[in-house]
Amino acid sequence: MSYLDALTDISVADVKVDLMRTAYDNDRALLNTFDPRVVLLWTVLFMIVPWLFYDPRPLVVMLAAAFVLAALSQVSKYLLALLVFGQVTNIGFFVVAVPFVGGLLSAVGYLSSNLGRLTSGDDGAVTEAVAIVVAATQSGVHTALTSQEVGIDAVGAVLPFFLKLSIISVVSLAVFSAMSPQKISKGMLRLGIPRQLTFAIAYGYRMMPLLVEEYHALINSFRLRSELPEKTGLLRWRYFAYLLVLSIKAFYPLIFNVAKRARVTVEAMETKGFSRSLADPQSRTLRTQELRVRPRDVSFVFGSIAFVAALWVVV
């Protein structure tokens, strides 16, 4: 399924497939072919590099390169769509919120400065109050319409910040979606990160598809034992409230099942000597002995540095 088809054809099965691909090996991904230590250090480097630029032009070029890398790494289309939607709504918020707040403050200021005209107690106090409210509304609307340029200027001021966050987010998605949890944990372990943390990351990745599958099964079981509302109400609010109640009811059994599964996993790992292997350096060497830094890994890092240097000089 292409990225364009995913925007119009979303199903639970597609989400499950994306989660399974994230939780297990993705051999066709570009970043999965490199040494995990090199990729992790490269990720840290490119979380710092965007903050060295302020001009939006090199940041836009870096964001385009990050999206190309995400496509080559086969990042989940739903995660990318969610990321793009979040950034667009953030920018739109500044365009709408700044004029709205300016108009609201102008209307409140006009009302507060004219409240003294209503204290005389004349018979036309109601007419006077209506006139003041109408004038305040007109003042607020006029301020909102004339301060649209201020909202656009605000977007221009925060645009580099949003671009930097988008670059970091897309690169992180590309890295952690391309490599398997086992490969990431081995890379972290070889870099000196405690094995407890690396195991927690790998175990969490492995558990994601199982939790989604189990949560979906719980939702279906509650739907079979419950009754749909006869009338959906305005904008189908009763139906959405029904789905919300089902989601909450299915959440608690899921928590108990997770706790039970975690206990079984701990007992199984302790039976195999997991705690004893934590302090054994031979265990760390045995788990990471196949990691090798090859010429293509070095070429990838230096190519990325050359790309950033070209942006610094040319753009």
Q: What pLDDT is stored for residue 275 in this prediction?
A: 79
Q: What pLDDT is stored for residue 306 in this prediction?
A: 92
The candidate with the shortest Cα–Cα distance to 143, out of 100, 194, 200, 88, is 100
Q: Report d(CA 97, CA 91) in Å as an integer.
A: 10
Each residue's pLDDT expressed in tens, for the chain with a length of 315 residues:
455 555 455 566 666 676 666 656 566 778 888 888 899 999 998 889 999 888 888 999 999 999 998 888 878 777 788 888 888 887 777 666 666 666 666 666 666 666 665 555 455 555 655 665 666 566 655 655 565 565 566 667 778 888 898 899 899 888 888 887 788 888 888 888 888 888 888 787 778 777 878 888 888 888 888 888 888 778 788 888 888 888 888 888 888 888 888 888 888 888 887 777 777 778 777 777 888 888 988 899 999 999 999 988 886
Token pair 């209307």 is found at: 107
Q: How many residues does the chain have?
A: 315
In sequence order, the 6+-apart residues with CB closer than 8 A to the CB of 50 are 59, 62, 163, 164, 167, 168
Burial of residue 71, with CB atoms counted within 10 A of its CB: 0-12 exposed, 13-18 middle, 19 or more buried: middle
Q: What pLDDT is stored for residue 182 in this prediction?
A: 80
Burial of residue 289, with CB atoms counted within 10 A of its CB: 0-12 exposed, 13-18 middle, 19 or more buried: exposed
pTM exceeding the 0.85 threshold for the entire prediction: no
